[in-house]
C-alpha cells in the first residue's frame, strides 16, 4: 500500500468515526491537528487523505489504517449484494457499482439496510419452520446475536490493543514459558484467588471441558483436554478474574443490544487474552515472519493447537508492527460455520454453504493433512487458502468433534508465506462465496440457482448441473 502516492477519499467513514464518538468537527479537527474547515473538506470528499492525516486518524481513533485506505468495505458490499439479490429487491436491478457507491458514501445507511435484510431473512427462515414455529423464532434470535458478535469483531479487525498490552504485562510478570506455563498459571490461581485446579473424568464433568465451582473454589478441567488446551483454559479464567475492567470496557464500547451478545463477546475477548498470553504479539510475529508463516513451526514453538495459531494469525494488526492480514473460518462436516473472521480481507456470505470447489470439504476426507489452494472470487480477487481438518474428543458417548479450520490472505501477500511457493504457477480455482451469490452460471457444482439472474431452462438440453445456465 503506497500511502505517499495513492489518493484516498474516505469522507463518509471519517464522518462516521467522528459521529460514533459524539465529536463535533471542531473537536475532531483539534484531536487530528487540522483546521475545522479542512476536516469539513475531507468529510465531503473534496480533499484526499494525505499519509500524515491517514496515520493521525488511525492513531487517534485506534483503528486499522487499512479500514480507511483500502476502498469500500468488502463485507458490507457483499451483504448489500445479498440484499439486492433478494426477490423483494431484485426487480430494482442494483448493480455492484451502485452498491459500492452506497457503501462508500452512506455506510451507516448501507449497514442499516443489510441489518434489515438479515432480520427479514431470519424471520422468513423461522416462519418456514412449520414443525416448530416458536422454536424457529428463538433460533432466529440466536442467529442474530451470533452475527452481531461477529460483526463487532470484524469492525475491530479482531485486534484489541488494551488486551494485548495487559497480556504482555501479565506474561512478563509471571515469566511464562512453554515449559512452565501450566504450573505457573495453576499457582497463580491458587495464590491470588484461592482456586485449586483439578482434573476430572468425563462422567463427573458431564461432557463439559471446563467448569468453575466457586463454592469449593475449584477450576474443574476435563481429562479429555489436551496438554496444550489446559493452559488456555487457565489463562481464560484468569482473564475473567483479573482483567474484568478491560473486558467490561470493550463490551460497553461495542454497544450490544442484548445480554447474550455481551456475554458471547466477553467470553471471546477472554479467550483472546489467553491466546495473547500464551503467544505474545512481538515474539509470535517475529517467528511468523522469520518462518514465512509456517503454522506447524508456530505450533511447536508456542505449544498451541492448529486452530489457536490460526486464530492468533488473524490478530496481527498493530499499526507499529503489522503482520499479514489473515481471514479465518471454522466449519463442521454439515457445512455450519461456527467461527469466522474476515479481517477486512475476505467477505463472507451470511447464509448458505461454502463453495464445494474451495478445499474445505476436501479437507474432511483427509484429517490432519494440510491443504493449500489458490482461488479467485467472481470479482477476480485472488486468495491463498490453508485448510486442515482437526478433531477433539467429545463426551464418552459421542464421536470426536471434527472441524475444518482455514486461514488465508490476499494473493498479493501470499508470497510472504511458505505456502505460496508450490502454487505460484498454478492458475486460481474459480470459487464463489455461496451459490446464491455466485454469478458463474455454468458451474457444474452449483447447488442452488443464482439470485443474481433469472434461470434459463431449456428442456431440450441438459446443462452441466441442475441449476447451471443453458447458455453456451
Q: How many other C-beta atoms lie within 10 A of the C-beta of residue 377?
A: 21
Cβ–Cβ under 8 Å, residues 407 and 327: yes
Q: Determine the pLDDT at residue 139.
A: 46
pLDDT band at 456 (very low <50, low <70, confident <90, very high): low
Higher pLDDT, 34 or 453: 34
Q: For the residues 171-183, what does the mean pLDDT come to?
A: 94
Q: Determine the pLDDT at residue 66.
A: 63
Cβ–Cβ under 8 Å, residues 220 and 254: no
The share of the chain scoring above pLDDT 90, in percent, equals 42
Q: Determine the pLDDT at residue 50.
A: 82
| Chain-centroid distance, C-alpha 384 | 16
Q: For the residues 372-385, what does the mean pLDDT come to?
A: 92
Q: Determine the pLDDT at residue 452.
A: 61
pLDDT at 130 over 50: no
pLDDT in tens, 405-434: 999 999 999 999 999 999 989 999 999 877
- Which stretch of 6-10, 216-220, 248-252, 310-314 has the lowest confidence by average pLDDT? 6-10
Position of cell 497463580? 188
Q: Determine the pLDDT at residue 136.
A: 40
Q: At a CB cut-off of 8 Å and minimum separation 6, what does 213 contact?
A: 219, 220
pLDDT at 402 over 80: yes
153 vs 256: CA distance, rounded Å? 12
pLDDT in tens, 74-106: 777 777 887 887 777 777 778 778 887 787 777
Q: How many other C-beta atoms lie within 10 A of the C-beta of residue 188?
A: 21
pLDDT band at 173 (very low <50, low <70, confident <90, very high): very high
> What cell numbers appear for 151 in the block?
460483526
Identify the top-confidence range among 55-64, 91-100, 157-166: 157-166
466 vs 472: CA distance, rounded Å? 15
Q: At a CB cut-off of 8 Å and minimum separation 6, what does 215 contact?
A: none
Strands 371-376 and 429-430: parallel
pLDDT at 315 over 60: yes
CA angle 47, 45, 321 (to 5 degrees): 75
Q: For the residues 122-126, what does the mean pLDDT come to?
A: 60
Cβ–Cβ under 8 Å, residues 269 and 163: yes
Amino acid at each position: 500500500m503506497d500511502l505517499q502516492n495513492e489518493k484516498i477519499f474516505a469522507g463518509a467513514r471519517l464522518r462516521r468515526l467522528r459521529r460514533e464518538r459524539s465529536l463535533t468537527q471542531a473537536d475532531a479537527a483539534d484531536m487530528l491537528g487540522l483546521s475545522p474547515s479542512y476536516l469539513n473538506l475531507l468529510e465531503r470528499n473534496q480533499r484526499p487523505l494525505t499519509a500524515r492525516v491517514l496515520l493521525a486518524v488511525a492513531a487517534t481513533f485506534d483503528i486499522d489504517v487499512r479500514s480507511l485506505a483500502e476502498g469500500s468495505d468488502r463485507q458490507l458490499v457483499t451483504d448489500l449484494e445479498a440484499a439486492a439479490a433478494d426477490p423483494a429487491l431484485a426487480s430494482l436491478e442494483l448493480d455492484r457499482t451502485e452498491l459500492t457507491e452506497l457503501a462508500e458514501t452512506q455506510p451507516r445507511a448501507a449497514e442499516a439496510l443489510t441489518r434489515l435484510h438479515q432480520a427479514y431473512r431470519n424471520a422468513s427462515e423461522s416462519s418456514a419452520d412449520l414443525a416448530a414455529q416458536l422454536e424457529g423464532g428463538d433460533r432466529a434470535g440466536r442467529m442474530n446475536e451470533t452475527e452481531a458478535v461477529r460483526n463487532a469483531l470484524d469492525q475491530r479487525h479482531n485486534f484489541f490493543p488494551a488486551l494485548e498490552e495487559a497480556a504482555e504485562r501479565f506474561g512478563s510478570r509471571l515469566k511464562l514459558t512453554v515449559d512452565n506455563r501450566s504450573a505457573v498459571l495453576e499457582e497463580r490461581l491458587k495464590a491470588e484467588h484461592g482456586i485449586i485446579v483439578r482434573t476430572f473424568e468425563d462422567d463427573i464433568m458431564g461432557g463439559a471441558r471446563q467448569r468453575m465451582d466457586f463454592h469449593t473454589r475449584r477450576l474443574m478441567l476435563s481429562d479429555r483436554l489436551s496438554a496444550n488446551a489446559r493452559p488456555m483454559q487457565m489463562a481464560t479464567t484468569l482473564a475473567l478474574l483479573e482483567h474484568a475492567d478491560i473486558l467490561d470496557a470493550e463490551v460497553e464500547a461495542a454497544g450490544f443490544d442484548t445480554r447474550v451478545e455481551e456475554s458471547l463477546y466477553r467470553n471471546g475477548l477472554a479467550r483472546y487474552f489467553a491466546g495473547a498470553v500464551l503467544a505474545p504479539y512481538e515474539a509470535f510475529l517475529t517467528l511468523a515472519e522469520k518462518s514465512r508463516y509456517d503454522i506447524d513451526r508456530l505450533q511447536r514453538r508456542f505449544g498451541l493447537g492448529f486452530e489457536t495459531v490460526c486464530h492468533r494469525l488473524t490478530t496481527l494488526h498493530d499499526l507499529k508492527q503489522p503482520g499479514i492480514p489473515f481471514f479465518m473460518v471454522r466449519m463442521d462436516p454439515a457445512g455450519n460455520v461456527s467461527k469466522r473472521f474476515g479481517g477486512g480481507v475476505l467477505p463472507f456470505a451470511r447464509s448458505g454453504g461454502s463453495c464445494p470447489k474451495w478445499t474445505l470439504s476436501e479437507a474432511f476426507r483427509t484429517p490432519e493433512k494440510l491443504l493449500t489452494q489458490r482461488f479467485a472470487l467472481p470479482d477476480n480477487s485472488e486468495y491463498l487458502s490453508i485448510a486442515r481438518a482437526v478433531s477433539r474428543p467429545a463426551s464418552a458417548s459421542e464421536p470426536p468433534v471434527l472441524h475444518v479450520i482455514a486461514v488465508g490472505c490476499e494473493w498479493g501477500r501470499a508470497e510472504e508465506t511458505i505456502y505460496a511457493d508450490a502454487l505460484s504457477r498454478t492458475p486460481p480455482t474459480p470459487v464463489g462465496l455461496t451459490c446464491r451469490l455466485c454469478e458463474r452460471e455454468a458451474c457444474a457444482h452449483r447447488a442452488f440457482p443464482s439470485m443474481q439472474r433469472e434461470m434459463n431452462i431449456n428442456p431440450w438440453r441438459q446443462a452441466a448441473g441442475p441449476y447451471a445456465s443453458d447458455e453456451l
